[in-house]
Structure 1
Amino acid sequence: MNILLCPDSFKDALSAEQAAKAMAQGVLKAAPQAQTHCCPMADGGEGSLDALIAATGAKRCVVDVQDALGRPRKAAWGWLGEQRTAFIELAEASGLQHLTPEERDALHTSTFGVGQMLLAALDQGAEKALLLLGGSATNDGGAGMLQALGAKLTATSGAPLAPGGAALATLETLDLSGLDPRLTSLNVEAAVDVDNPLLGERGASAVFGPQKGASPDQVAQLDHALGRFADISARVLGKDYRDLPGAGAAGGMGFAARAFLDATLMPGIEMIMQQADMPALLNNADLVITGEGRLDGQSMSGKTPIGVARAAQRLGKPVIILAGSLGDGWQACLDEGVTAAFALADGPMTLEQALPRTAELLAARCESIIRVWITPSPFENPDL
């Protein structure tokens, strides 16, 4: 019996790798003879770098960069030498998790550190880069990244453009002639977990700006500033990408990746499953168990458990989802290849009580699932 364990992280509780190990403990308690394969997953957000390194055996590298507020920090990235491929997680440099709630400032946070990570990859000899765009603290449309890569963005005052999305309202010229020439031969794929355009009521500022500290007035300010950036970019490039699905990802980094790096945008879970060779793993599995912190109707838009389930459905493999909680609309997952879904709690408990018990609860649920799975079905006995 081969069991494939491929969860995402359980936020504030376990990494995807820790979750998979807890699942394996439960499986083996019920069926010591079972073969388990742990394959941590992610959908392009925080933790995706760890999932890719675990799936591929890539080398973890560290580079000195600026964080979203311009402070020095060390950012990790992955290097798959045989394939000359770099794994760049935006959140390592410009992630929201590095800021306290009081420090969140969508007007001034910058993606400059992401550009520094790309330069480190180019220095290593990268021919391909997988850019993971979730978890950003920024709303600058990737302008900071472009500055780090050599582009010149000039304000109406004639001075170099200041960091942050708000400064884009004063953008006068965009000069790409200084971009690192090695970028022209770099194949970039960008993982996005949303399909939002750059601007408007479904755009980067309106939908994601508030969680990055933007007030309603600042959301309007940022949307206007990104609009100016899009206008000038369209004139320089001869093509307008503002309405591209996914352009609004990570505060407009989806827009910058496509417009300036010629990146292919794809769902993060698909990118990571591709690197992990998920079809081969599924082919060998008798049962798949996945999960994440919450399963609800929004999960259908490309979250890890649903991506895994859709891939498994194509091969006729049963999938069980374990979630910290089941929210409104979770039943829709049953139409996406999911056999069953269960919440972790074993009784009434608060989130504060549940978080430290996540590993224990995952192991217990997996043990129960496998005990049911290996019990002979009475329906197989024609005499009953």
Structure 2
Amino acid sequence: MSEYETFMVFELDDSGEKKRVSMSKEELESNLHPDQVFVIVCEDLRRIFIWKGPKSPVRKRFISSRVASELQEELRKIAAFHRCKIVSVDAGDEPTEFLNAFRLESMVITEKMEDLRYVRNIERDGLAQQGSVVQEPKSASKPQVEEEYFSPALKETGTKVLASSFKPTPSSPRAKTSYKQPQTTRSSPSISKAPSISKDQQDKIKDKILKTEVPENHKRLNLILGHTLFAPISKTIKVFGKDVEETDWEPIKQVPAVMIELNNHMLRVYFDEKNGIVEAIEVLEREEGSEQNSAPKSKAKKNIPKKKPVIKKTAPKKKPVARKAAPKKKSPMTPMPDKPSSMNKSSGRRSLPKIPSTED
């Protein structure tokens, strides 16, 4: 039982035995041949598809329903697998679910088996007894028979004229337009038709997110992969007698019914560049201690008084002392010449008597 995987392809032999074929979802399109019958197990979608080629033998088609039901019972006994629904797929008339799951286009059928309607009825009766739901075939539209035109004037004429040859001529000739069936083109993956993510893809995306470093003072709260919400679950394991705590990310089965608004949370979005879609969303939460430690620091800074700028007094500039110039030496005066003796004569005036001083 351990050899089974989430995606498997089985080919049916003429004897009715199934043989497993190793191929991926991308290789499925190139291996669908008109003369083969495949039983495709897609556990992610909980479906078992029976793909029948247009030229496949009747025996293989009849045995395929029995093989699919046996495979359904075997997988149900495994705990990791869910109960898968059996869906019959005819080439050229594929359901939209099958085309979107593997991103395929409808196969163009040029030749069909004559007993195809008989084979479908047998398979439908067999699957209906097992309780599986099978899509009803589309009823073939009956071709419209052209009514012959008959005029009462033909009775009066004796000539033999074919009634079908007399047809009303249209007033203006209309060109016949042939309506071609629109070709189905492979559309780019959209949100409404995007296939569900498999477990292998979920594990790869989770490893990619968990390897990314978490910002400082933050911790991971939840992960959103596709339409699934994941949460951390702590488990305690004993290793050599010591308790070791491990954290596993598991999907949440019951989500809240109301809308939730996130405050003070950080979101990181991961993209798939090839398909152009959102791959995952990571929800980060701020740790409790980081907010308390940051608050007092900001308050302490506000309470510190600002220091007044110290103004340095500049010493008064000394005025330059003007040096006194040395006194100029007076040039010696020229001595007066002696008076001539002629000028020493008395002028004829009487000299005044000397007044005695007290000192004498």
- Length-normalised TM-score, structure 1: 0.25
More helix by share: 1
Which structure has more relative contact order (CA 8 Å, sep 6+)? It is: 1
- Length-normalised TM-score, structure 2: 0.26
Structure with max Cα Rg: 2
